[in-house]
Amino acid sequence: MVVGDFPVELDTLVVGAGPGGYVAAIRAAQTGQKVTVVEKGNVGGVCLNVGCIPSKALIEASHKAEHAHGDEALGIKTENVSVDFSKVQEWKGTVVNKLTGGVSGLLKANKIDLVQGEVYFVDKNTVKVMDDKNSQTYTFKHCIIATGSRPIELPTFKYSDRVLDSTGALNLKDIPKKLVVIGGGYVGTELGTAYANFGTEVTILEGMKDILGGFEKQMSALVKKKLKSKGVTIVTEAMAKGVEETKDGVKVSYEANGKEETVDADYVLVTVGRKPNTDELGLEQVGIDMTDKGLINIDDQCRTNVDSIFAIGDIVAGPPLAHKASYEGKVAAEVIAGENSVIDYLAIPAVVFSDPELATVGYNEEEAKEAGYDVAASKFPFAANGRALSLNAGEGFLKLITRKNDGLIIGGQIAGPNASDMVAEVGLAIEAGMTVEDLALTIHAHPTLGEITMEAAEVAMGTPIHITK
């Protein structure tokens, strides 16, 4: 121990101030725990600083740029539309700053100490927190690890000024003329869509048979159709081989259909997954049980094999979603406080801010059947909804997955405008154990997209009003 390094004693130490960590800290403080949060980067983590929030801001700006060009079908014509991308980036930054500043204020208001530095575990109740100048020992009764993840770097695509991860793509100073995206998952699709809306010529290289592999084919097909209408080239079952950087851009080589191909661009964006940030914490000192991919194994209360230590978010099994991390953070904090909280992932939604938006919650039809349920899949199209048509957005559908014997709602999928907001009602229905009758009897305002949920419930009951059986 460093001379003069007297240990600071805590009830709960939270490692990481992202959407998992800061939420866990606040809930722990609400239960009366003395809490300190350690963060080596910016408050808000990846989500608020270089992930969810700035990407959605960029996507929204891109939609406004796209809409500014008018719509001849609506009789709207415009000329000489221009985008000051520096202003777009400046606005995006203000959104991020408001939210990260808000998180700092919430921590302070809940009397939570925020410490800048890196954590290294000494034993199951002790860590060292280090910055450039100092080292301080902290002892704790319980610890919640919420260190998040980082983009996977491919050996043949080392990050540089021209080979970008998602952070680099979000912070470009100018709109690229050409962009290659490696990986057609949700990050690649979202950012590819955003730059296509700004007028970039985008090529997406996806190694699997389809983009957005986590979603049903009938959902991803709508996104593919829209991407192609924006001029995006999609190459599936493509293996990215390497990149040659030039003074003004990149030349990306890939293999598809048994042939070697190349494509030139200003930048290449690599979005092939994320790696958990568990490799520099000294977890081997504590004997934390982990997978060979660096994920921490936990029980249904977010507790590791070491009773005093909990883990949440991207560093445990499951999709790397901010709302999953926040949910797990609340559970961990409540368990530490002695409450009987457990994790239940059935009603956790997944959303892609594509065009159109995609959202799913609970089981899809195939998953429900594999789980042994006898289910019905009841679909209602956006094309039969007045509000969708008035938005000139009639493509898409909402599908409810229900048990045949009692109409219990166990899943739902939405492809269409505002799917990201609409999925909340289906998630609530699953969480509350509602049946299709409950949704059908709930009066929905007209004309709204929310009516589609009610209409799908009526389809499930065999009594649809606005489509024929």
Q: Look up the CATH number of the domain holding residue 245.
A: 3.50.50.60
Do 171 and 296 have their domain in common? Answer: no
Q: Report the 10 Å Cβ neighbour count for 65.
A: 19
**Is 166 in contact with 269 (CB distance < 8 Å)?**
yes
**Is 240 in contact with 156 (CB distance < 8 Å)?**
yes
Do 200 and 304 have their domain in common? Answer: no
Q: What CA–CA distances, in Å, run from 259 to 240, 252, 338, 395?
A: 12, 14, 60, 35
Q: Report the 10 Å Cβ neighbour count for 217.
A: 11
Set 67, 69, 444, 446: catalytic member: 446
Mean pLDDT of 270-295: 96
In a domain, 50, yes or no: yes
Among the candidates 272, 307, 323, a domain finishes at 272
Among the candidates 249, 272, 295, a domain finishes at 272
Residue 411 above 90 pLDDT? yes
Do 290 and 146 have their domain in common? Answer: yes
Is residue 356 reached through a cis peptide bond, with omega within 30 degrees of 0 on the bond before it? Answer: yes
Q: What CA–CA distances, in Å, run from 134 to 182, 308, 413, 432?
A: 41, 26, 51, 50
Residue 3 above 70 pLDDT? no
Residue 1 above 60 pLDDT? no
Do 290 and 167 have their domain in common? Answer: no
Domain count for the chain: 3
DSSP 8-state code for residue 21: H
Residue 153 above 90 pLDDT? yes
Q: Which amino acid is at 298?
A: I
pLDDT > 70: percent of the chain: 99
Torsion-angle region of residue 72: left (phi > 0), alpha (psi -120 to 50) or beta?
alpha
Which residue has 């429900």 as its token pair? 368
Q: Across the chain, what does the average pLDDT equal?
A: 96
**Is 23 in contact with 329 (CB distance < 8 Å)?**
yes
Do 266 and 298 have their domain in common? Answer: no
Do 182 and 247 have their domain in common? Answer: yes
The reply to whether the predicted model has a pTM over 0.85 is yes
In a domain, 105, yes or no: yes
In a domain, 3, yes or no: no
DSSP 8-state code for residue 312: -
- Predicted confidence at residue 2, as pLDDT, reads 46
Among the candidates 272, 300, 328, a domain finishes at 272
Do 20 and 64 have their domain in common? Answer: yes
Do 141 and 13 have their domain in common? Answer: yes
Do 71 and 136 have their domain in common? Answer: yes
In a domain, 60, yes or no: yes
Tokens of 249: 């851009």
Mean pLDDT of 230-259: 96
Tokens of 227: 């991407």
CATH code, domain with 371:
3.30.390.30
Exposure class string for 129-144: b at 16+ Cβ within 10 A, else e: beeeeeebbbebebbb
Do 145 and 191 have their domain in common? Answer: no
Do 63 and 31 have their domain in common? Answer: yes
In a domain, 54, yes or no: yes
How many whole angstroms from its chain centre is CA 185? 11
In a domain, 321, yes or no: yes
In a domain, 156, yes or no: no
Residue 216 above 90 pLDDT? yes
H or E, element range at 261 = strand 259-265
In a domain, 131, yes or no: yes
Is residue 155 reached through a cis peptide bond, with omega within 30 degrees of 0 on the bond before it? Answer: no
Structural domain boundaries, residue 282: 8-151+275-336
pLDDT > 90: percent of the chain: 97
**Is 288 in contact with 309 (CB distance < 8 Å)?**
yes
Residue 275 above 50 pLDDT? yes
Do 190 and 217 have their domain in common? Answer: yes
Q: What does DSSP say about strands 118-123 and 178-182: parallel, antiparallel, or unpaired?
A: unpaired
466 in catalytic set: no
